[in-house]
Structure 1
Amino acid sequence: MKKDLHPKYNPVVFVDMTTGTRFVTRSTKSSEKKEVIDGVEHSVVSMGITSDSHPFFTGKAQFVDTEGRIDKFQKRFGAVRRVGKPTV
């Protein structure tokens, strides 16, 4: 097996910047900011959006049809009908 083939795997804390939720895990990602948790030094990585704040996972997702895409689709393809199988 080759030496130094795999990246270094470190203990990391991912922090959601909007909610402050912390995810303690391990990753190849690291940072200069460190924090000791249960006697182990973890790198602290700030995340803009995580499963704790993403609208899909929180259930606060809203469907917004800003350009009338559904209406545009219906105008374009709504009148198109499928033709039955051709007879031979």
Structure 2
Amino acid sequence: MKQKIHPEYQQVTVTCACGNSFHTRSTMCKDIRVEICSACHPFYTGKQKFVDTAGRVEKFQRKYGGEYFKRTKK
């Protein structure tokens, strides 16, 4: 087996949009940002809350620049 081919496993900080943050380990970057975590997700809190899906649609449209919808309407 080849030695030293695996990415480094390091400690990262995960930060939620609600302000909650926690530490875990990953081979990804130093900091990870998430929109929903266990501290604010309705399943874990037991509270019903509106999840912003409009932001996700806008993010999709920015990513594909509206070209996706133009191609599918043919």
TM-score, normalising length: structure 2 = 0.54
Structure with bigger RCO (C-alpha 8 Å, 6+ apart): 1
Instruction: Kindly report the root-mean-square deviation, in angstroms, between the aligned alpha carbons of the 2 structures.
Output: 1.9
SS at match of 1:26: strand
* The one of 52, 71, 74 aligned to 2:39: 52
Equivalent in the alignment of 1:23: 22
How do residues 1-88 of structure 1 correspond to structure 2 at under 5 angstroms?
Answer: 1-17=1-17, 19-30=18-29, 43-61=30-48
**Matched positions, count:** 49
Look up the equivalent residue of 1:15 and give its one-letter code: T
SS at match of 2:8: coil
Task: Please give the alpha-carbon distance, in whole angstroms, between the structure 2 residues aligned to 1:29 and 1:54.
Answer: 24
Rg larger in structure: 1
SS at match of 1:56: helix
Name segments (4+ residues, structure 1) moved above 3 Å.
Answer: none
SS at match of 2:12: strand
Seq. identity, %? 41
Task: Please give the alpha-carbon distance, in whole angstroms, between the structure 2 residues aligned to 1:46 and 1:24.
Answer: 12
Look up the equivalent residue of 2:15 and give its one-letter code: V
TM-score, normalising length: structure 1 = 0.47
Task: Looking at secondary structure, tell me which structure has more helix per residue.
Answer: 2
Look up the equivalent residue of 1:9 and give its one-letter code: Y
Equivalent in the alignment of 2:53: none
Task: Looking at secondary structure, tell me which structure has more strand per residue.
Answer: 1
